[in-house]
Structure 1
Amino acid sequence: MKDVALAAGVSQPAVSYAYNRPSKLSQAQREHILQVAASLGYPGPNVLGRSLRSGKIGAIGLMMMDKLSLAFADPCTIALLRGISEVGELENVALTLFPLNNNRLVGRAQAEKHGSLALRGLVDGLIISTLPDDHPAVLAVVKQNIPFVVIDSPLVPDSFFVGIDDRGAARMQVQHLLELGHRKIGIIIDRLNPDGYRGPIDRQRFGSASERIVRERLTGYVEAASEAGLAFEDLSIIEAGGLDSTSGQAAAFTLLTSNDVTAVVACSDVMAIACMKTAHALNRNVPESLSVIGFDDIPEAVQLGLTTIGQPMVEKGVYAARMLTEQLNTPAGTRLEPEQKIFPTKLIVRTSTQANTGT
């Protein structure tokens, strides 16, 4: 790294930024540094080599909720894993998955115990993805001073974070339907709390939400509807209780058979596609008699013509992995200023939504 810095006429931190925090440099400066590094045969900082020299493990972990079978079926998790794997510095570093099932939701007093059982001696650093607020495993990570980066949730003070403006993006979903003339709007969310509840959502349930992403998106839905004169009670909100298509189809059946809605906003593409399948089974044509909008822009959304919110899931994984490698490559005793990266989102209009032609 020192040789590259000298040859490129920059500081050593600038070389590190070129690999780990490209937002700190201009595109031209980063490309110059990478070209000089390539000409010198320098492949970039080596986390594994550093780990071996310091007696570390040479492995990182991805901590997430639910079972591994659900994680590998979830398009968003798959995209995150792809992003993490694209970071060249991690080519020779092991990746351990830590699925935290609902029975790990224990009290704060058990945080250190559970964190120690899962993490001690297994990884040098962690990427934490979409855990509930104050999950004891996160508290254990903080207490044990393990380097980590959070993707989406929870919000941990003074930590590295990668995410999006979930509330603002959710407002775009509802505003799109309102602009098309829809007033009878149904909402399908995956879950507000990981407690297995399935069914209609009232204000009390909404107020108790511990899942930050869904809470933020539902808040965005309610705010956008309120600005259009629709009260919380005017919205038909169903919680699926899970992240999978089967849970989504059950929630959609409850919604479509008990409410006269002309449009459905879903907090994920998985839920939206499940709703489209259920609508077809109930002889509700999309978009002629039911408009549906999702969130994420997974590959299947493109194939089915789903109107949705696009977010850069792969890029989030790449950025989080680079944040983590920078922490692992930083000399002991050196404090890095935590960084927050908020990626933009966009409304992608396809064929699953259209103007409301009914009364």
Structure 2
Amino acid sequence: MKPTVEDVGDAACTIPSSVLQELKPPSEMKRTVSMKDVALAAGVSQPAVSYAYNKPSEISEAQREHILKVAKKLGYPGPSVRGGSLRSGRVGAIGLMISDELPYAFVDPSTTSLLRGIGEIGELANVALALFPLQKDLVNHSGAPGNVSLAVRGFVDGLIVYNMPDDYPAVAMASNQNIPFVVVDAPILKGVPFVGIDDFGSGLIQMQHLLDLRHSKIGIIADRLRPDGVRGRVTQDRFHQATENVVRARLEGYLSAGKAAGLAFEDLTIVEAGGFDDASGRWAAEQMLACKGLTAVAATSDVMALALLKVAGEQGVAVPEQLSVIGFDDIPEAAGAGLTTIRQPLIEKGRHAARLLTELLNAPPSKRAAGATRVILPTELVVRSTTKSRRKKRS
């Protein structure tokens, strides 16, 4: 039988007398400082005090510093997280869906940059972040969707969906359960706030750089086309079955630029790594370097490109004299390696996504679906030392 308030009161009588003797009478107990006390002492309204902790963008930085200074002097611990959750109906947590297994979030440079951007938004400073890794059995429709439903339902107030495959069940569940969410990179859904880049256009620029350097024997390393464990040489059938929108769009950009230069799908050597990590990249690099006659390689991520540079060095293949290499992302390691790449604002993606999610959570449910915001951030070609013009042979 669940204890009632009276039952708990009776149980309190069992506290040892030695403990009771140490307790001070009510008249000597220190009164808890409230938000109202801070407001009176600081000469501001109670909402202003609340904004100082929960919505700092609503007041000036000077006013916020003044309120926090007064609160500290009074010993005010801040608003009750549990109380605020009960009043608002929120649990005080948001979720981040990532496109691989859990360890990936802590080692992948793009994901860690996204997390950094999310963490820089003050409105989420006191909010917990839960990670939801990709469940491959559900992507292949061999698992029970209820597992994901239990993880999402009631566990978070909102979600940031990062680079997930098309038709991933948990995304549909979040939508059906009216959980506010923002998509970063993929999938692209009607009526859902989106933050990303022009992957097709950026891929086209990436390939065009190699074509402008007179390369025609070009290889492509693609991270992953589907989360099904398949890797190896990519056929047209495999390409058309792709569910990873970002990689697919970049490949479409490569193919479009190649077609304009007279290169068909069969003229390009495309290898799928089957994953996004360094080990997958090294495996793909070995397959690529086994293909004779290639003079340049474009990779759909810097992780893949950097893995290729390492394997090329181990095999004695000179870059860029024998092989030009271009990546995508411009992660911190790219500059140190002299990697030519496409720069995208990874941290800024996290900032925009966090802001959009905050706006969703603060908006009335009736207005959440109205005019979903779509943010497309700029990219740029960064030319370093891993690409070089291929000289024509003298006749």
TM over 0.5: yes
Question: Which residue matches 2:97?
Answer: 63
Partner of residue 299, structure 2: 266
- The whole-number CA distance in structure 2 between the counterparts of 1:51 and 1:286 is 56
Q: Which runs of 5+ in 2 are unaligned?
A: 1-50, 68-78
Which ranges of 4 or more aligned residues in structure 1 deviate by more than 6 Å?
33-36
1:187 is paired with a residue whose SS is strand
1:258, 1:175 → 2: CA distance?
22
2:321 equivalent in structure 1: 288
TM-superposed deviation, 1:109? 10
**1:318 and 2:351 matched:** yes
Amino acid of the residue matched to residue 100 of structure 1?
L
**Backbone CA RMSD of aligned residues:** 2.4
2:74 matched to which residue of 1? none
Find the counterpart in structure 1 of residue 219 from structure 2: 186
Structure 1 residue 40 displacement after superposition:
3.7
> 1: distance between equivalents of 2:292 and 2:215?
14
Q: Deviations over 1:111-158 (max 9, x none)?
A: 4x2442211121000000011001111110110000000000001111
- The higher radius of gyration belongs to 2
Residue equivalent to 1:166: 199
Following superposition, the deviation at residue 36 of structure 1 comes to: 6.2
Instruction: For 1:126-137, list aligned pairs within 5 A.
Output: 126-137=159-170
Cα distance in 1 between the residues matched to 2:323 and 2:353: 38
Residue 330 (structure 1) aligned to one of 363, 373, 391: 363
Q: Output the amino acid matched with 1:38.
A: E
Structure 1 counterpart SS, 2:225: coil
Deviation at 1:37, TM superposition (A): 2.4
CA distance in 2, matches of 1:144, 1:198: 35
Q: Deviations over 1:322-355 (max 9, x none)?
A: 0000111113433442100000100000001011
- SS of the residue corresponding to residue 126 of structure 2 reads coil
Looking at structure 2, the residues matched to 122 and 226 of structure 1 have their Cα atoms a distance apart, in angstroms, of 48
CA distance in 1, matches of 2:304, 2:143: 35
Cα distance in 2 for residues equivalent to 1:55 and 1:83: 26
Q: Are 1:298 and 2:331 an aligned pair?
A: yes
| Residue of 131, 150, 157 corresponding to 1:124 | 157
Distance 1:334 1:215 in 2: 33
Give the counterpart letter for 1:279 in structure 2. A
Which residue of 49, 64, 72 maps to 1:41? 64
Which residues of structure 1 form unaligned runs of 5+?
1-15, 21-32
Q: Is the 8 A contact 1:236 1:259 kept in 2?
A: no
| CA distance in structure 1 between the aligned counterparts of 2:187 and 2:309, rounded to whole angstroms | 30
Of structures 1 and 2, the one with the larger relative CO (CA 8 A, separation 6+) is 1
Tell me the TM-score normalized by structure 2.
0.78
CA distance in 1, matches of 2:203, 2:167: 24
Structure 1 position 41, deviation (Å)? 2.9
Give me the whole-angstrom Cα distance separating, in 1, the residues matched to 2:269 and 2:84.
54
Q: Provide the TM-score with structure 1 as the length reference.
A: 0.86
> 1:65 offset after TM fit, Å?
2.0
Q: Spell out the pairing of 1:103-114 with structure 2 (5 A cutoff).
A: 103-107=137-141, 111=145, 113-114=146-147
Instruction: Say which is worse superposed, 196-205 or 332-341, in terms of deviation.
Output: 332-341
Tell me whether 336-345 or 34-43 shows the greater mean CA deviation: 34-43
2:61 corresponds to which letter in structure 1? Answer: A
| Paired residue secondary structure (1:318) | helix
Aligned to 1:4: none
Partner of 1:133, secondary structure, is coil
Identity of matched residues, %: 53
Structure 1 contact 162–319 (Cα < 8 Å) conserved: yes
1:341 aligns with 2:375: yes
The aligned residue for residue 128 of structure 2 is: 94
Per the alignment, in what secondary structure is the counterpart of residue 192 of structure 1?
A: coil
Aligned residues: 327
Residue equivalent to 2:229:
196
Contact 2:329 2:343 in 1 (8 A): yes
**Deviation by residue 1:254-288 (Cα, 9 ceiling, x = unmatched):** 11112310000000000000111111112111111
Matching of residue 73 in structure 1 with residue 73 in structure 2? no
Distance 1:228 1:349, change over 3 A: same
Offset at 1:318? 0.4
CA-to-partner distance for each residue in 1:35-93, whole Å, 9 max, x for gaps? 962344399xx9x6864421210100001122111221100000000000000011100
Distance in 1, Cα, partners of 2:330 & 2:172: 32
**More displaced stretch, 331-340 vs 310-319:** 331-340
Do 2:138 and 2:144's aligned partners in 1 also have CA atoms closer than 8 Å?
no
